Structure 1
């Protein structure tokens, strides 16, 4: 039938996704008669698979380790320095034993990696053994993130502002060059901050190599050593506060300061803050930048002993000098000890304010002179203890004679020889030492004079220089005199008559006879020949 309705098959409606299914509402009447509409809880999600659970546990462990390391760094380096450099440091992801650390600029990335990278890696490995490596990555903050960061998010006043997640939001750090100046920043980056132990640097110890027991005492440094021991035993003693140590590079100033600090800490009940003058300046500037100058002042003025190394760095930095001046006065007035080191005495430090110069010189000023030959040799003997078979005594005397400036250079030369002996598997001799240290010896090269030859020969045979130019003919004097004439002919451009005149106006034939006699004796006497060869290397 045309007018009849055609029967069409019923179509099944498409299934509603599970998350879109409307759940029945429940009406709950409160005690006050008010009604509220609530939505029942959706069905519980199935438990995670073992693989998912393992990943979550690993991520939680890494996150917990990172939080501990971050808190430790903040405590160790101080709030001002942490906020300047490490506050924006984020961590994650962690893949195949490597944890990626994020910073918002290449400048910050390079700085943090060079300055703190090794310490961060060690701390992370200590907290979580699965962390084998770290990598630094530049992750600039996006525009959306910056705009989102301008919201009203509340921050815990006890927090440092960093997220407790593996992916904290990072923000662009202001360039420190704009605050410190390029020259100051370069000096800070090149400087070596020494270990410290104080109220804002807990857990960081002084260098264990630098103690009073390992300091070799001689006439050039005995006064400075005695003053340092007095301060360590009884801080703030009248007449020894402040203690000002000065001397050239590598003479032991830093060694004594570390020895003082370590000894004070070992005795206990004393807070010590030790830093270089450069670091003092940096932390002062950082406190201004982070608006925490009062905290900076409180930290430094609450210690029992303040130690500032390389004070000459503050020359020409008037604002930092002003801050140190007030810190100095506050500590002295409170009966606290101050120890300062520099390369010159207070009176010779041009560029310091007069009021600061006079205060630095009002206590005990002790200098460390260049080490004598005997002290240099004693230092080498002390350093070689237990490994005497690697470097014989003749080589130690050679080093003590030829490297007469910085003790640091002297010890460095010895370390090079020890390393060479251990690598090649045999002791070094004079020829080997001269070859291995040829660059260092060339830097100490100088023109040899007849007077120098006489002095060295007299020292070696334990006679007086005046005996060598006298008319005495006893064998104990004649043989060193002849040896000196021989060396003068070999090592100087002087003629035979000139050499004769330098040895008490002797005739040139006497010099000729001496040269011939020494040559004959060297061929017969191995011990004498070895002495002559050593003197030749020392003077040549």
Structure 2
């Protein structure tokens, strides 16, 4: 097991060297060492200092866990800890044992030789004292009684010291008194003994090797960070809604293509197509299908990495990574996903740097043969302020639209919702009323039913037509008068037998330009949108173009019967 971990660590180091760059690797990642372990599900990494350990935890914990899981799928935990100190502290005794008189006599007999040698040894001793900073002992003379030795904890054996004669000690003391101190840490006392030059000097220990002890703040002790680092659970299991599955999706002709495409993409094996682009109006079931894809693919491939986020969340995390100067972790997290799903793509319109990162992300996902699902409120070619290269990549896969639900589908959705409310009693005529009057948004359709049931339970009243109309008064009136620019464009293209893209294209032929002007006229009359907003919905045109279209249609209605008749028919259908 240890050999497998060593081979895996070699591959991980090579990957980190290539991805992080030589500067970051040499400074922060190269000192990492693998601690041998027999546990197949955990990896222990050690660093020489607490400062470097905290930095690696903050910036590369997720990346290390992900790299090890690629090489060793059984790994579940990667711990990053500070390497324990192996060198025991060197303790210098405060007192020196007495020197035998026989040795002192022999040394005094060789006076000149000892004195000349002492001139060379004293500066060396001063440098040693300054570097190791021991507690200096007192001067011991042959006549003075020997003080009791203090027991060291622990005691490091050293060669026998050499005694200094009194005459030499007095000379050294005189010189030291007149000389300038070389360091504020230099002791003022003269040592009794000078160690031999061969005595090893203990190396100063690194400050970061000492364990970090949390200091209390306002009387509250802050716990130290735990050394065990696990991969983020959000990457393993995205925040999918458990209610939104394929079994709870009501299928009809308006959404059958999108439903079958979603089921096909969720199957294991090589995907038939990628990306899958789902588009439709608000509340038509796009988010439901994305969650269902995530649930089904996780059930089929439990080890797969599934990531679901909105385009707004993508932009927020990207900007946060730029500010933290840690875009590498953001890129690695998204591009390592086996299934990447991004909702509401229209929210990154006009965001240049975000669109550039989004392009490289989806390009990497598609080139690696992974699954990509994108949702928006309109087709790729109709998206405003989206780079053409992104539109081209999204159009290369399967584009499926979800149309507004018809009356039969709305009834089926309400029946499916009633199955989840076994205690609720709602007459069939109330179901028919809700299905007939709320015809654009499935969320509003289900919300209206929930409101009727909740009001009946809270007030204790029986649900009937009068109760439903009184409870849903504002909702029903709002559904009657609400007309959107998308509805106008759709109806105009059907009336004049055009394609939806003609409403936003640059074509200026009369067969296309005149219906487009009629749609602008109806948008100005039936909606509360401003002129610039209407222009943006028609291919990013200027507000002056909208003003010209409105004035032109008003003039033609007075002179051209066909134009006036077409406008009247469209107004009746939209107002109905």
TM-score by length of structure 2 reads 0.45
Larger radius of gyration: 2
TM-score by length of structure 1 reads 0.48
